[in-house]
Amino acid sequence: MVPGLKTRVFSLHDILLYLAIAGKYLRLMVLLICFTVMAGLTYYVFARPVYHSQSIVHVEDVSRPLDTDKLYQDGRFQSIPMQLIAPHILERTAKSLGVNASHRDLQRTYLTKIRAVYDSQANLIVDVWVALPELADAWTESMVREFLAFRNEKRLENRENLDKTYDVEIKEVLARIDRQAAERINLADERGLTEALIRLKSISTLPEDLAKLQLRLAEMNRIRVHLQDPSIQDDVVAKLSLIASAEELGDPLKVGTTVATNPAGTKKDGDTNVHNVIVLPSLIKSPHAWDTLLQEQEQLNNHVNELSKTFLPASSKMAEPLKKLAIITEKLQAEYLTAQRRFDLEVQQIINKRDDLQQKMPEYKLINDKYQKLLTEIGIYDQSQLPFQTYLVEMQKKRDALNYAGDKERINLEFGGLLESSARSVSPNRFKLLLVSLLVGVVLALGVPFLIEYLDHTIGNLDEVESAFHLRPLGIVPQIDSAQLNPNALIAYDEDRKDALIENFRVIRTNLLSMGQSSKAPQVTMITSSMPKEGKTVVSSNLAVSFAHTGDKTLLIDTDLRRGRLHRLFGFHKSPGLSNLLLGEISLEEACRSTDQPNLSVMTAGRHLESGTELLGSPSFRNLIQTLRTRFDRIIIDTPPVLGLSETSIMQNVVDGVVFVIWGGNTPARSAKAAVDMLSANHANFYGFVLNRIDLNASSNYYQYYYYSHDYYYQHPLENA
């Protein structure tokens, strides 16, 4: 079969073909079925029996804020089935039941299969398949018991290991913390961090004090501007009130305080003409002493106003009050001058303090920058160290958690009893084993023959060649026994013979002549094949006999100058023949030999030559064919195979067309395709192909070529060619 061909429409003929293939491999199919049944029987005899039990295990899952599952991470709900049937649990279970074996030995000898899954109520359903019936019922209960025991042992071991590890780790962490603290103190001392901190604290309020003085000075300057206002120049009381409001904003002068001033009243950088003023007690009396004078002045003004209603200003009654009023006014003026002097000194004192603080600001910035730099270095050091304090806290938390929740279970298992138990073995099952064996046997019986057919890349039918190579089928030639390959049986033609071989060549001849209507007339026809021993000589000889019987004067030429075999069919000697004629050793009449068949002449290959390619490609051969065209109606040329030789390709320009012979069921598809492609590259005119040596006794070929072997040849009368 040629793979990759287009699938045809499924028909009755295909069904018969598949039946024929089945008949071809019937013994193989029966053998495969018998083999699988015997294999199943052997397995049943020697396989160990398997017993099954099914049990339920109740799973208790209680969520707690802190429990052993969270501490040890060994009891997740989803992983319980896998933990329950773990290899080490199975080994412990087997040992508790009296079977001392490894996990591999358990699987090989005792435990066939075990499965644990959750049901809809979150309970574990455990299925056990074992080789011993006494193990089936007791396995699950013992397995749950061993699982709980192993988990408790493992947790106790882990707890002891954690306690020992924490003791060692806590001591080491404490030592590391002390070492880090000492290193940090040493680093701070080396960098002068403590000294910088002390110096910074001593002047830490410098920016704040300077800002306060700036605000105080701005307020004093504002009051000074108001004191210069012309609208209140004669109002001593208003001026005193302004000065009093300024004195309430800050600290008053202290007795004995020295205030540095300059003649202009403002200290500037570089001034050397500076006066020092000592604050006397007269300058610091209560700022509100003038309130009494103000009350007396108001009373005298009221008294003068009352007297003025009765007496004239020059009256003796008016002189005394006016005199007292003048004295009070002078006292108020003196209070104002004192307050103004005190105000000016306070302003100057604030200016002096501001200047002093401003002079200290560079030192403050220098100390602050140094301190911040040292803090950054210490911070980098702290970040570069491991957080041992955090480690210590975490370890202490874990130890407390172990002490608190070491015995608080979240997930617990309890064996709930057997759900199913079988005293008889469940495997191997005779009916199931027989059914599986038969099924496998049928699959193999159907699959192996068709696989063989699929892997067969030889050409076996006409449709495959027609689809793959786009050549027209001219006919088929049935397989002939070697005893029949003699001149009398193969070549002799009898009018009254009802032979399938004769009828096959009549069909080939008729199809060949019909092809001449659409291309060149088949006067000179080449018979070739892709490989040796495909039956070119038999086909060309019989085709020549068939043409001769029609009355056409026919010449059969053997162009295989190396291994020509045409002379054997007719009982001639190989030489003289074509090679002698081309070499000029004989004449054309001597080369063409008459046969017992009317109208048929044969030209054998002649003397053996290794340089046959040069002779067949020479002008002498071309001229010979032209001469023969005038003497014969049909010229049949038997050629060497296409692959590996060049004679066939060289002769393309002297023949009218090519008949390609394929050995059915034997010629590889790749070889046939390569030969067809080579001839097509040399512009060959294909009349079609002949499928040769078809074994019609084979059932597959019988159904495939039924109409050749039965309908046409046996049900219809023969026609005279």
pLDDT in tens, 216-249: 888 888 888 888 888 777 777 787 788 777 766 5
pLDDT at residue 714, rounded to an integer: 40
Tell me how long the chain is.
Answer: 721
Mean pLDDT estimate for the chain: 78
Q: What does the DSSP 8-state code read for residue 482?
A: G
How do strand 111-118 and strand 124-130 relate by DSSP bridges?
A: antiparallel
pLDDT surpassing 90 at residue 358: no
User: Measured at the alpha carbon of residue 611, what is the angle toward residues 605 and 616, in degrees to the nearest 5?
Assistant: 60
Q: Please tell me whether residue 55 adopts helix, strand or coil conformation.
A: strand
| Span 582-610, average pLDDT | 86
**Rounded Cα gap, residues 539 and 662, in angstroms:** 11
Amino acid at 502: I
Percent of the chain with pLDDT over 90: 11
pLDDT at residue 556, rounded to an integer: 92
pLDDT class of 721 with cuts at 50, 70, 90:
very low
pLDDT at residue 363, rounded to an integer: 83
pLDDT at residue 408, rounded to an integer: 62
pLDDT at residue 697, rounded to an integer: 59
Lowest-pLDDT range of 76-90, 179-193, 685-699: 685-699
pLDDT surpassing 50 at residue 717: no
pLDDT surpassing 60 at residue 707: no
SS3 content of the chain, % helix, strand, coil (to 5): 60, 15, 30
Question: Residue 648: which residues within 8 A CB-CB, separation 6 or more?
Answer: 526, 528, 639, 640, 641, 642, 679
| Span 87-101, average pLDDT | 91
pLDDT surpassing 70 at residue 58: yes
> Measured over all CA atoms, what is the biggest interatomic distance in the chain, rounded to whole angstroms?
201
Hey, how many other C-beta atoms are within 10 angstroms of the C-beta on 366?
12
Percent of the chain with pLDDT over 70: 80
Of residues 175 and 454, which shows the higher confidence score?
175
pLDDT surpassing 90 at residue 584: no
DSSP string covering 151-196, please? HHHHHHHHHHHHHHHHHHHHHHHHHHHHHHHHHHHHHHHHHTHHHH
pLDDT class of 635 with cuts at 50, 70, 90:
very high
| Span 483-494, average pLDDT | 45
pLDDT surpassing 70 at residue 4: no
| Span 179-203, average pLDDT | 81
| Span 697-707, average pLDDT | 53
**Rounded Cα gap, residues 661 and 682, in angstroms:** 18
669 φψ region: left (φ > 0), alpha (ψ -120 to 50), beta (else): alpha
pLDDT tens digit sequence for 250-265: 555 554 455 555 544 4
| Span 59-82, average pLDDT | 69
pLDDT at residue 255, rounded to an integer: 45
What φ, ψ does residue 104 adopt, rounded to 5°? -65, -40
pLDDT at residue 405, rounded to an integer: 63
Lowest-pLDDT range of 137-151, 465-479, 621-635: 465-479
Lowest-pLDDT range of 25-39, 120-134, 607-621: 607-621
pLDDT at residue 483, rounded to an integer: 45
Hey, how many other C-beta atoms are within 10 angstroms of the C-beta on 204?
13
pLDDT at residue 715, rounded to an integer: 38
pLDDT surpassing 80 at residue 372: yes
DSSP string covering 629-667, please? HHH-SEEEEE---STT-SHHHHGGGGSSEEEEEEETTTS
Q: How many Å is the Cα radius of gyration of the chain?
A: 65
Q: Please tell me whether residue 715 adopts helix, strand or coil conformation.
A: coil
pLDDT tens digit sequence for 380-425: 888 888 887 888 888 887 777 767 666 666 678 899 999 988 778 7
pLDDT surpassing 80 at residue 621: yes
Q: Single out the residue of 381, 378, 387, 385 nearest to residue 188, CA to CA.
A: 378
* The two structure tokens encoding residue 395: 């370890």
**Rounded Cα gap, residues 92 and 630, in angstroms:** 104
| Span 348-368, average pLDDT | 86
**Rounded Cα gap, residues 519 and 93, in angstroms:** 89
pLDDT at residue 634, rounded to an integer: 92
Lowest-pLDDT range of 26-35, 176-185, 237-246: 237-246
Place of tokens 């407390």: 400
pLDDT class of 346 with cuts at 50, 70, 90:
confident
Q: Which burial class, exposed, middle or buried, applies to 530 when counting CB atoms under 10 A from its CB (0-12, 13-18, 19+)?
A: buried
pLDDT surpassing 70 at residue 76: no
pLDDT at residue 115, rounded to an integer: 93
pLDDT surpassing 70 at residue 500: no
**Rounded Cα gap, residues 131 and 240, in angstroms:** 121
pLDDT at residue 702, rounded to an integer: 53
DSSP string covering 398-451, please? HHHHHHHHTT--SEEEEEEEEEEE-SS--BS-HHHHHHHHHHHHHHHHHHHHHH
pLDDT tens digit sequence for 511-546: 888 887 777 888 899 998 888 888 888 888 889 988
* The two structure tokens encoding residue 273: 């003409």
pLDDT tens digit sequence for 250-303: 555 554 455 555 544 445 555 545 555 554 454 444 455 677 777 777 787 787
Of residues 666 and 512, which shows the higher confidence score?
512
pLDDT surpassing 90 at residue 124: yes
pLDDT surpassing 70 at residue 491: no
pLDDT surpassing 90 at residue 197: no
